[in-house]
Amino acid sequence: MKTATINGIELAYRDQGVGEAILFIHAFPLHGAMWDGQVAAFSPHHRVIAPDLRGLGASEAGGGAGSLDQHADDLAALLDHLAIEHATVAGLSMGGYISLALWRRHRQRIAALILADTRAGADSVEGKQGREQNAKLAETQGPGAIADLMLPKLLSPNAPAALRDQVRAMIESNDRAGIASALRAMAARPDSTPLLAAIDVPTLVLVGAEDALTPPSEAEAMFNAIPGCRLAEIPGAGHLSNLESPAAFNAQVLEFLTPRQMFGIGGGGGGKW
C-alpha cells in the first residue's frame, strides 16, 4: 500500500500496473481492499488505483465534517499526485455517489464511468434520519454493530460464509468516527439525477440481480437517463457484486473497456445486454 499527502491528510492507495488508468472507488462501510480482485484482474493491462477514502481503511480522517465532495476533491488531487490526467472511474454504491460528485466537480478527469450497485437520487427524509441513527450507533457501539446491521443488506442470502467473514473483517477494521462521518456525508449528498442526461463519456451501469440496497430498478433508471449508456445485470449477485461474482463483474468491465465494444463494433455502442 502506498500513501501520499493529499489535501492535508495521508491517503492510502493501491497503485498497480501500467496503461490507461482505472480508479476504483469503494463502498460503505468498507475500504479499498474490496477491489483486490479487480486490482489483480486489470493491472496486467491497466494502471489500477484503489484508494481508501479519507477516514476509512488506512487513510487519515483529517478534521471537520466529511462530505462526498471532499472525497471527490481528494481523488482528483490523488490523480494530480499520480500525474494521471484522465481515468475510467468505477464506483460501487457510495463509490458511485462519489463518482457522480467527481463528475460534477472534476468532469474533465473522467474518460469513462462505471456505476455499480448505486443510485443517482439523494436520501429521503426517513433515509437521512436512519443514517443519523446509524452514525450514533457506530459512535457508541463501534463497527461491529454496523457490520451486524449491514451484512444482511450487502450480500445475497446465498453468499458463502467465507465472504461474509471477509466483509465483516473489512467493516470491523474501520474506525467508528470514519464510519459515522461517511454516513453523515451520504445523508448530505445532493440529488445527482439532473446530471445524468449530460453525461457524455462511455458509461456502464452494473447491478447485482439480487441487490437489496440499490436494486436493479435504480440501475435501470440511470440507464434510461444517461445517453448511450450500457446496462448489465449480474445474476445471483447481491449489493457487493464485485465480491460476490467477481468473474461476471470483471467480464462486464473488460467488455466495456475493450475499445471495439465501446465504440459500436461487435454489438457495442449502447443498449442493454
How many residues bind ligand MLT (CB under 6 A)? The answer is 7
Instruction: Figure out which of the listed residues 6, 12, 21, 27 binds ligand MLT, where binding follows CB under 6 A.
Output: 27
Which residue number, 49 or 53, has a Cβ lying nearer to ligand MLT? 53
Quote the least distance from Cβ 264 to ligand MLT, whole Å: 32
> Pattern of binders to ligand MLT over 83-122, x per CB under 6 A?
----------xx----------------------------
Length in residues, the chain = 273
Sequence-ordered strand ranges (E) for 128-169? none
At its nearest, how many Å lie between ligand MLT and the CB of residue 215? 12
Give the residue, chosen from 13, 24, 28, 35, that forms a contact with ligand MLT under the rule CB under 6 A: 28
CB atoms within 10 A of CB 134: 20
Indicate the residue among 146 and 262 with the shorter CB distance to ligand MLT. Answer: 146
The candidate with the shortest Cα–Cα distance to 205, out of 69, 78, 112, 122, is: 112
Considering only 48, 110, 135, 213, the residue that binds ligand MLT (CB under 6 A) is 213
Contacts of ligand MLT in 231-260 (CB under 6 A):
239
The distance of closest approach from Cβ of residue 213 to ligand MLT in the complex, given in angstroms and rounded to an integer, is: 5
Task: State which residue, 27 or 262, has the beta carbon closest to ligand MLT.
Answer: 27
Give yes or no for residue 72 binding ligand MLT (CB under 6 A). Answer: no
C-alpha cell read off for 231? 446496462
d(CA 168, CA 148): 8
Q: 248-256, long-range: CB within 8 Å, 24+ apart, which pairs?
A: 249/38, 249/116, 249/206, 250/37, 250/38, 250/41, 250/42, 252/204, 252/206, 253/38, 253/42, 253/90, 253/114, 253/204, 253/206, 254/41, 254/42, 256/112, 256/114, 256/202, 256/204, 256/230
Interface residue list for ligand MLT (CB under 6 A): 27-28, 93-94, 186, 213, 239
